[in-house]
Structure 1
Amino acid sequence: MNLLLFNVIILIYLLITLYLGYRGWKGTKDTEGYLVAGRKAHPYIMAMSYGATFISTSAIVGFGGNAGLFGMGLLWLTFFNIFVGIFIAFVFYGKRTRRMGHNLNAMTFPELLGRRFDSKFIQYFSGLVIFLGMPLYASVVLIGAARFMETTLAIDFDVALLIYSVIIAAYVVWGGLRGVMYTDAFQGTIMFIGMAFLLLMTYSHLGGIAISHQSLTDMAHLVPGNLAQMGHKGWTEMPISGSSWWWTLVSTIVLGVGIGVLAMPQLAVRFMTVKSGRELNRGVLIGGIFILFMTGVAFTVGALSNVFFLQTQGDIAIKVAGGNADSIIPVYINAAMPEWFVYIFMLTLLAAAMSTSSSQFHTQGSAIGRDVYETISQKRGGSSIMVTRAGIILAMVIAVTLGYVLPDNIIARGTAIFFGLCASAFLPMYTTALYWKRATKAGAIAGLLTGTFVTVLWYLFIHKAEAVPLGISKMLLDRDLLVADMPWPVVDPIMVALPLAALVTVVVSLITKRMDRGHLEDCFRGLK
């Protein structure tokens, strides 16, 4: 396949994407249509949109590259993604979110929480957390797509980043969530096919399943000395329990992302787009299979790339990629796969990035328009939609700017930071909102503030990966870290902030006045 033919395929793909965005725009008649797709989404559209939003280039390129560094231990994240991110999310959170969202006429995740606890503060503060916290996550998704375009098409990274962002803006700003979900389902289908081919071709290239995995096991003696000192035992074993490598893998990557998915605003809002709980039941199988093929394949191939590079270049993946884990998957694809598949896989990554980016920007726009502007100004309708669209454009500008300045090896870490922030800030409040009538407005606010600020302060003063480069602790306290004793510098904030937020939510709720019985009956109508 030559470059001209590939460009034709890309053009067709983009035209289809823009057409689906146009369909979304034509079908969007009001605020409900723009924010929750009219609450009539097909189960396949909803499930594929959920999966495609969940899985992006950060999972395929960023976490796939980290699998080349950490090994098969990342497959625990696949387990959490399916069990927590699909089964628990759809069955235990999705149905109640859909029903309560309908009862309260909520159209965004912060609005659902704000109306459940009868608090404008919860709505606009949550909107601000999303709008200010998501740009890092959005930017690493952009970086993942642009890096592969740079490697494959030999074009400048900055140019690739700009072109990609303009394309997304063309259909997100006007099409609303309906347009986003249509394009997500189309892009998710492409992603599924591309990843299935990648797995089959990798095993075929390395001599089969048993031989390739045994070869990876036999490479344990090649673990670099600095990684071995941190607890790395090989690419088919978990790190030494309690080591810095173990804490990074388990607390930051597996738990941070695996649990954080439950409170991701751009995913939770999908539950409010279907007309009944039956659509969510149908979506569990579709979503589970999709996530298995996306993350399971990416992590397996990322780890097995070490075998390929040892056989062909005599070295391990991270060294072949120049020390940048974000480059492992692009370098492997370009080195190991035939030219025609390289182009097809680039289309897969483009679809993965666009599906997630579009949802991120739509969520940020709705946060600033619906949750902040409307809540504070009390103005609804046309002006709110315009602010939402302006918010989308501003969010895109911020993400692109960050994409130009962020360092290497940032994709997986940037994703984990936002997932962990959402879990700590929102999950205790979200869970009690759905299941515990005794939860109070004061308890929800206390938990929200605790989770948010403990997470931020932990990143600024204790978690080594962020605190040392930022230098705020050094500037204010004249020391790199507030607490330098192991294992605290490598313990992810979610391990501390989430339990504290949950405890504060419960304790404050128990000692403050119950919420109005009539309000609770409205919230829980139709829920057992």
Structure 2
Amino acid sequence: MAIKLSLLILFFAVMVGIGLYCRRHASDVAGFVLGGRSVGPWLTAFAYGTSYFSAVVFVGYAGQFGWRYGIAATWAGLGNAFLGSLLAWVVLGRRTRVMTQHLDSATMPEFFGRRFESRRLKLAASVIIFLFLIPYTASLYNGLSRLFAMAFDVDYELCVAVMAILTGVYVIAGGYMATAINDFIQGIIMLVGICAVIGAVLQSQGGFLTALDSLARVSDPTVSNTPGVFASFFGPDPLNLLGVVLLTSLGTWGLPQMVQKFYAIKNEASISKGTVISTAFAAIVAGGCYFLGGFGRLYSDKVDVASQGYDAIIPTMLSGLPTFLIAVVVILVLSASMSTLSSLVLTSSSTLTLDFIQGNLIKHMGEKQKLRWMRALVVVFIAISVVLAIIQYRSSVTFIAQLMGISWGALAGAFLAPFLYGLYWKRTTRSACAASFFFSTTVMLANILVGELFPPLLRSPINCGAFCMLAGLVLVPLVSLFTSPPDSRQVEKIFSCYDQTITVTMRDSIGRPERKK
């Protein structure tokens, strides 16, 4: 217990200390929200990765999908690395950074408002972000509580309160830069921790080959009658596994807390380096989490999924580890959860302030007033998420994976297609953007309320969210072709930021605009 508490206290002290140190970077809106658009490749890549992977992945997704698909669940981690990280950086990174600077937009709703010249789209996007980030935040607390209960036997409400307060302190004090530096430290902890945990768990099962052989002997007639299916390449249910891969990988392309990382990166060279770093980070962390979860059925004699739920699988697997490794696991998941929570509350508070309150509830806001509102809303958002997390825990409404599926499905389904086409296709219209917003939010809300009326494959929020994303990629170009085109002069003006893509000047324009000729 002394080892666990010592590591926790040290961890919290470092996080808060960095927040206080970064106060000078958060003296204006650009610094608080984007770190002055001067964040380097390592900080940006780790901020992207740690915002991507949280207790939802480590406890919820790894446990649930490892149990369902066996070792084939590792495909989800590989999809996260190559589709959710590598391809996202290649396709979105540079164009997002250049166009958002050109449009002077600091948030995703602000991008939609200026790219499509629509105040209504900006307001709609800000409301969608606020409403659907809440379920995701509640899921972070739930996953963390499972491990704290295993390691410390500590009350859930106390665990939630401590995590929320300390995250709020360093976000309010240091803004995005404090979040990015903390994410870097937390990312290192996650890399070391996941490798150590995988090694220890496999060793407890006699090594990798022995564990894999034991997994091949596991049978579950309710899932499949194929011998060795849980140790096979594609597992017992490849189609539903594909839905998991798509939602958790392609979904990052439309999540505001992920895409806004590209807004803040320093220059073009940083984007190239960040692509490699982010991909490697995701391959180790996400691939490791799902790979570990794939051996969950070896502990079927110690966990009752029917009564305890999928979220108990990973804590059960870890409960027999040495004390020091359990402390490392707690810090690992705490790091993952706090980094994601800080990203979510910063995204939500900045979006509400800049895209909803400013110009609507308050017509004119100075820099200091904006900062006060954003810091106050960080507190409000954290408080709401804490209350909902406790309510959800006491009522046992749903599993972690389903909470995340609802959030990711609605946000990525609404934003992915209009954001992607808005960066690349001049013909994209505001009507198409609105159609994507309406379609995905309506479908996901219906899935929550009357999910039993959906076709069997789409009753899962995860599959439904993946469907919304893919549907949006078809819906946006179709609606754009059948609606009035945007003003050509305005569109050419917006896309003029890409006219210099083959020149050295463009490379310098992100980081050192004074060198433009």
Q: With the length of structure 1 as denominator, give the TM-score of the two structures.
A: 0.87
> How many Å apart are 1:136 and its aligned residue?
0.5
> How many Å apart are 1:231 and its aligned residue?
13
> How many Å apart are 1:455 and its aligned residue?
2.5
> How many Å apart are 1:319 and its aligned residue?
2.0
String of CA shifts for 1:303-326, please: whole Å, max 9, x gaps: 22433x3xxxxx446427953211
**Identity of paired residues, percent?**
24
The equivalent of 1:501 in structure 2 is 472
Is 1:41 aligned to residue 26 of structure 2?
no
Is 1:278 aligned to residue 277 of structure 2?
no
Q: 2:380 aligns with which of 394, 402, 419?
A: 394
Which stretches of structure 1, 4 residues or longer, exceed 6 Å deviation after superposition? 229-232
The equivalent of 2:371 in structure 1 is 385
Cα RMSD of the aligned pairs, angstroms, is 2.4
In structure 2, relative to structure 1, the CA distance for the partners of 1:229 and 1:523 (3 Å cut) is farther
Structure 1 range deviating more: 124-133 or 372-381: 372-381
Determine the C-alpha separation between the residues in 1 that align with 2:292 and 2:432: 45
Is 1:411 aligned to residue 400 of structure 2?
yes
The equivalent of 2:459 in structure 1 is 489
Q: 2:324 aligns with which of 327, 340, 345?
A: 340
Q: 1:61 aligns with which of 49, 56, 59?
A: 59
Q: How many residues align?
A: 492
Determine the C-alpha separation between the residues in 1 that align with 2:293 and 2:83: 23
Is 1:97 aligned to residue 86 of structure 2?
no
Determine the C-alpha separation between the residues in 2 that align with 1:339 and 1:408: 32
The equivalent of 1:157 in structure 2 is 156
The equivalent of 1:525 in structure 2 is 496
Q: Is the 8 A contact 2:427 2:485 kept in 1?
A: yes
The equivalent of 1:354 in structure 2 is 338
String of CA shifts for 1:215-256, please: whole Å, max 9, x gaps: 21111x2x2x54449999535464555xxxx654432x2222
> How many Å apart are 1:388 and its aligned residue?
1.9
3-state SS of paired residue (1:525): helix
> How many Å apart are 1:487 and its aligned residue?
4.0
Determine the C-alpha separation between the residues in 1 that align with 2:58 and 2:30: 33
Determine the C-alpha separation between the residues in 1 that align with 2:418 and 2:270: 25
| Residue correspondence of structure 1 range 182-193 to structure 2 within 5 A | 182-193=181-192
String of CA shifts for 1:371-430, please: whole Å, max 9, x gaps: 211242443323222222222222111211121122276212211221111221001101
The equivalent of 2:511 in structure 1 is none
1:266 maps to a residue whose letter is: Q
String of CA shifts for 1:291-314, please: whole Å, max 9, x gaps: 11211111121222433x3xxxxx
In structure 2, relative to structure 1, the CA distance for the partners of 1:178 and 1:456 (3 Å cut) is same
The equivalent of 2:212 in structure 1 is 213
Determine the C-alpha separation between the residues in 2 that align with 1:338 and 1:208: 17
The equivalent of 1:234 in structure 2 is 230
3-state SS of paired residue (2:358): helix
Structure 1 range deviating more: 131-140 or 379-388: 379-388
Determine the C-alpha separation between the residues in 2 that align with 1:413 and 1:249: 15
Q: Is the 8 A contact 1:424 1:455 kept in 2?
A: no
Q: Is the 8 A contact 1:58 1:140 kept in 2?
A: yes
String of CA shifts for 1:75-119, please: whole Å, max 9, x gaps: 221122111111111111111000001101111122112211111
| Residue correspondence of structure 1 range 67-86 to structure 2 within 5 A | 67-70=65-68, 71-86=70-85
In structure 2, relative to structure 1, the CA distance for the partners of 1:302 and 1:498 (3 Å cut) is closer
The equivalent of 1:121 in structure 2 is 120
> How many Å apart are 1:9 and its aligned residue?
2.3
The equivalent of 2:24 in structure 1 is 26
The equivalent of 2:304 in structure 1 is 319
Determine the C-alpha separation between the residues in 1 that align with 2:228 and 2:123: 43
The equivalent of 1:330 in structure 2 is 315
Structure 1 range deviating more: 18-27 or 259-268: 18-27
Structure 1 range deviating more: 94-103 or 228-237: 228-237
Determine the C-alpha separation between the residues in 2 that align with 1:11 and 1:122: 44
In structure 2, relative to structure 1, the CA distance for the partners of 1:232 and 1:7 (3 Å cut) is same
> How many Å apart are 1:5 and its aligned residue?
3.4
The equivalent of 1:475 in structure 2 is none
Any unmatched runs of 5+ in structure 2? 502-517
| Residue correspondence of structure 1 range 189-200 to structure 2 within 5 A | 189-200=188-199
1:437 maps to a residue whose letter is: K
